[in-house]
Amino acid sequence: MPQMLYRNALNRALDEELARDENVVIIGEEVAEYNGAYKVTEGLWKKWGDKRVVDAPISEAGFIGMGIGASMLGVRPVMELMFFSFAYVAFDQMVNNAACVRYMSGGLINAPIVVRGPANGGTNVGATHSHTPENIFANVPGLKVVCPATAYDAYGLMKSAIRDNDPVYFMENTLLYGDPAAGSEIPEAEFTVPIGVAEVKREGSDVSLIAHGRSVIVALQAAEQLREEKGVSAEVVDLRSIRPLDEETVLASVAKTNRAVLVDENKPFCGVSAQIAATIQEKAFDDLDAPVLRVTSVDAPAMYSPPVEKEQIPNVRRVVERVMQLG
């Protein structure tokens, strides 16, 4: 079974869902004629035409609002943001409308919309294009937030997201699209990955590295270096979903290793790792042999300088150093 890149796995999932359900449409910036800013939608406009794959103007408040309205009427839109930083322009629609409509209608109206695109730093595009807002949207009841790290999970979670009756905000990473380290063998037969289920990507006994998105790849590389250079056996837990959060898998790993380092590209204040740390503190305190430590992005706007930004976001060296501080 050949390896498939992250972007190609997303493309296949989208293509199959367009074929499976005539209510699925793709709308976004450059998704059609130009094949997507990151080539995730390459070939889909040519195959499915103007009514199923639609280019939108650079007006996120407008087209995201339109997609939410369409989802309330039975359409299943997959909306692409060129950067998830642009979601802030549509924040009212994504939070006040999409997240609340099922609750406020007494369950009579659903909003089965997927909003997807890259949410990451590390590409040297400046502070306004490098936000990681998964923690912000995960704070809102009614929303689901997923952050796949591998092609396999990107494929399976995308299919689950499109079929879900709630809004799913699907946060990818520009650096993963063509990264062989994020590639996976993907079966020919279709499958789904359930939303809200974490996965142990690497078994270990000395410390749990808990991560999501590209930080999982960093954690896996750090785990290998820890084994080779320090004799440390690190377990890597991939959250996959931020909300709903699979606490059971996280707590089981901590009970096994008795130590945890959380790897998270969010900023440290009120980030995803802050929530995980609180969960471990509340529910697994007696299992800990050392404090829960974190490796996050440095608490400053995303830095434009390539060598500086590489140090701002989590990297292998920082993870290894943090693990060794546990003693």
Catalytic (active-site) positions:
60, 129
CB atoms within 10 A of CB 57: 8
Contacts with 256 (C-beta within 8 Å, 6 or more apart), sequence order: 205, 208, 235
CB atoms within 10 A of CB 310: 14
| Cα separation, 240 vs 227, whole angstroms | 24
Q: Write the DSSP string, 41-101.
A: TTTHHHHH-TTTEEE--S-HHHHHHHHHHHHHTT-EEEEEPSSGGGGGGGHIIIIIITTTH
**What distance lies between CA 21 and its chain's CA centroid?**
24
- The answer to whether 31 and 41 have CB atoms below 8 angstroms apart is yes
State which H helix or E strand residue 17 sits in.
Answer: helix 6-20
CB atoms within 10 A of CB 106: 7
| Cα separation, 266 vs 285, whole angstroms | 24
In this structure, are strands 114-118 and 144-146 parallel, antiparallel, or unpaired?
unpaired
| Cα separation, 311 vs 68, whole angstroms | 38
